Amino acid sequence: MMKRMTFRILFLLMFLGLSCESWAQVNSDEVLMTIAGKNVTVGEFMAIYQKNNMANQSDNKEALDEYLNLFINFKLKVREAEDLGLDTVPSFTTELAGYREQLAKPYFVDEATIDTLVEEAFERSKKDVRASHIFIRVSPDALPEDTLVAWEKISKIRERLLQGEQFETLAFELSEDPSARDREANAQHPFIKGNKGDLGYFTVFDMVYPFESAAYKTVENQISPIARSDYGYHLIKVTKKQPAMGKVTVAHLYKAIPKDATAEDSLRIHQKIDSIFTLLKSGAKWDSLVRLYSDDKGSASHGGVLPKFGVNRMVPEFIEAIYKLEKKDDFSKPILTTYGWHIIKLEERERVLPFNEAKSELKQKVLKDSRSQLAKEVVIRRIIDEYGMKEYQPAKEEFYIVVNDSIFLGKWNASMAAGMKKPLFKIGDLVISQQEFTDYLDAKQKKGEQKNIRVYVDKQYHNFLEEKLLMVENQNLEQKYPEFKALMNEYRDGILLFDLTDKNVWSKAVKDTTGLKEFYVNHKADYMWGPRIDATIYTAKNPDVAATTRKYLSTGLPDEDILKEINHDTLTFLTIQSGKFSKKDYPVLSKISWKTGTSENISTENGLVFVTIREVLQPEPKELNEARGLITADYQNFLETQWIKDLKAKYQVVVHPEVLAKIK
């Protein structure tokens, strides 16, 4: 199914083309031709012609005439599909709707905003940021009074920071990020030392967008304004900004420090890593030392190499050491992390690509990221400005009464809103009623955590309103954008053409075995073998093998037995190929005389070759199975030609020569 769909898309792209150019100033509304009673204007024909035709042929009169004939054939097939009702079957309407959904997507994203976000992401990708944060949790659906409590809490913390209190101290005491404080060992995890708000290094797309933006906009060693994300409020202290590390592959030699290590144990481990470092500086082999001394047994067997990672995947001390490694095989001094001691060796570094190379991937990341919502919001505002919108707030507030807590269990009964049919909002001339919102709430309800009714209704109302705004724009795309209407018509006709051609030509040629055989019988002379021989080709590794093979042949020993005698175990000294061959099949066949008997030895790059010819065959027709692919393709062409002939007899085609002359 997937292969079939891919083929359909390729077929449509070939038909629809990829480029468009200007053409001679002819009235695009003039009728160029009439096909089966339907007029085709100059504009319709030329738009499709220039999409399909090569740019360097766009002014070629012969190319225009050739395409005119193809276009007529195409339109005849589409008309036949319409008369057969193929444009009304459910599978067609579903497929066309799917293409329309994809083609409409660019109209619901503001490209200028996306371009700005891509450029912003690229600039940020050139820097890595190390930052700490203090976090106060608040749900995006929180009540205003709860949001106010969280705001006041984070505001007071910021005031204390500005008055000189230590960020790390307040993070440890007040942050609602549990990683800020020590976590005692339990059944799920060992003891984890608190980071006092330190999040280490990160780069673009590593953090939620509001957090990322606040961090990148904050000067080093300064504290950000209060930032709001879907998780809550953040205060961010930027510790350092570095040129981007990029993606790296490194190896490490690791000495662990046990949890119960004494001061003496720690000193001994420190001295050990220092002595290993001294050996490395004196020229000792990295791989040997890693195998002998590294406590990371998973990586030690292959030189301590770790999987490729980015800046946010390792603890800050580890990343700091990598920044200082400039070229392959550079290694760091011993560094201490919360895990133990490491010596790090650089294997490979992938720097940030230039903008023109990175742009495509960055755009895909932007479109998948929450920041793309900004581009959608631009479109929403534009729709509101274009169509106008009026909301009836009292009509919405009535839902605060009829919706109850059962909706959080997915059990709300929509009959509670029975009779509510007042206008809820108006977009242009379209009035949306309370009943439609009731149906929306009923369909969207599901079991989840309990929320405030007012907050829930407001959120669902916002989503419903946005959905209706986009629906209005979607319904008017063909009217507003002629190029979209033309493209949809082309896709419609292309799908119809594909389906009917598949039925009458492609699949028919494969399934109609009787017709294919009849076509083959009538065209046998078109599928001829050239001169061939019925022969066996012997390829021997050396002269001794060739001589032994000839000896066995003289005794009448069958080929399969000869192979058993000469080839032993997995060693192949002789190969034998039997069949019918032409000279183009094997170059060696051009070096021997084509007569019955066995040839002399011919030296080749594969060894010595000699050929036993049983019969020299004269040219003869190929059997159907010997050329089925070629014969099937020709039969398809035959079916297509006959089909077009029948369509031209069935439907009248009138081309207006005076209009065609203007185009030329």
Integer Cα distance of 119 and 570 in angstroms: 60
Separation of alpha carbons 445 and 453, rounded Å: 12
Q: Are residues 539 and 590 in the same domain?
A: yes
How big is the CA angle at 585 (ends 582 and 589), to the nearest 5 degrees?
65
Give the pLDDT of residue 26.
67
In a domain, 430, yes or no: yes
What is the pLDDT, as a whole number, of residue 344?
98
Q: Which of 243, 277, 308 is the last residue of a domain?
A: 243
- 599 backbone φψ class: left, alpha, beta (φ>0; ψ -120 to 50): beta
Do residue 610 and residue 647 come from a single domain? no
pLDDT of the residue at 248: 97
Q: What is the mean pLDDT of each run of 10 residues along the chain (664 residues)?
A: 48 47 64 92 85 57 85 93 95 95 94 97 98 96 91 97 96 96 79 90 97 98 96 97 96 93 94 97 96 95 96 95 96 95 96 94 96 95 97 97 95 95 97 97 88 91 97 96 91 93 92 94 94 96 95 95 89 94 94 95 94 95 94 95 96 92 82
The Cα 15–Cα 57 span in angstroms is 17
Do 513 and 545 lie in one domain? The reply is: no
Among candidate residues 251, 349, 255, the one with its CA nearest the CA of residue 299: 251
Residue 136 sits in a domain whose CATH number is 3.10.50.40
Q: Look at residue 11 in the predicted model and tell me its pLDDT.
A: 54
Same domain? 139 vs 232: yes
Cα separation of 525 and 522, whole Å?
Answer: 8
Q: Is 169 a member of any domain?
A: yes
- Read off the tokens for 95: 């497929």
DSSP secondary structure, 459-497, as one string: HHHHHHHHHHHHHHHHHTHHHH-HHHHHHHHHHHHHHHH
**How confident is the model at residue 278, as a pLDDT?**
97
Predicted local confidence at residue 25, as pLDDT: 56
Q: Let me know if residue 516 belongs to a domain.
A: yes
Instruction: Give the count of domains, the chain.
Output: 5
Q: What is the pLDDT of residue 395?
A: 97
Report the amino acid identity of residue 467: E
Q: Does 106 map to a domain?
A: no
Q: Helices in 17-60 by DSSP H: which ranges?
A: 42-52
C-alpha distances (whole Å) from 173 to each of 168, 197, 451, 580 are 9, 10, 29, 88
Residues 6+ apart with CB under 8 A from 630: 527
Quick one: tokens of 17? 């083309």
Strand order in the sheet with 38-41: 38-41, 31-35, 653-655
Let me know if residue 4 belongs to a domain.
Answer: no
Q: For 399-434, b where at least 16 C-beta lie within 10 A, e where not — what string?
A: beebbeeebbeeebebeebeebeeebbebeeeebeb
Domain that holds residue 225: 127-243
Predicted local confidence at residue 12, as pLDDT: 53
Q: CA–CA distance from 210 to each of 118, 228, 236 (Å)?
A: 16, 7, 11
Residue where a domain stops, chosen among 188, 219, 243: 243
How far apart CA 418 and CA 437 sit, in angstroms, is 12
- CA pseudo-torsion sign 35, 41, 45, 51: negative
Contact 316, 333 (CB under 8 A): no
DSSP string, 569-633: TTB--EEEEEEEE-TTT-GGGGSS--SSEE---EEETTEEEEEEEEEEEPPEEPPGGGSHHHHHH
- Shared domain for 607 and 644, answered yes or no, is no
pLDDT at res. 53: 63
CA distance 48 to 480: 20
CA 446 from chain centre, in angstroms, equals 31
pTM (whole model) above 0.75: no
Amino acid found at 149? V
Cα–Cα dist 520/624, whole Å:
7
Domain of 580: which CATH number?
A: 3.10.50
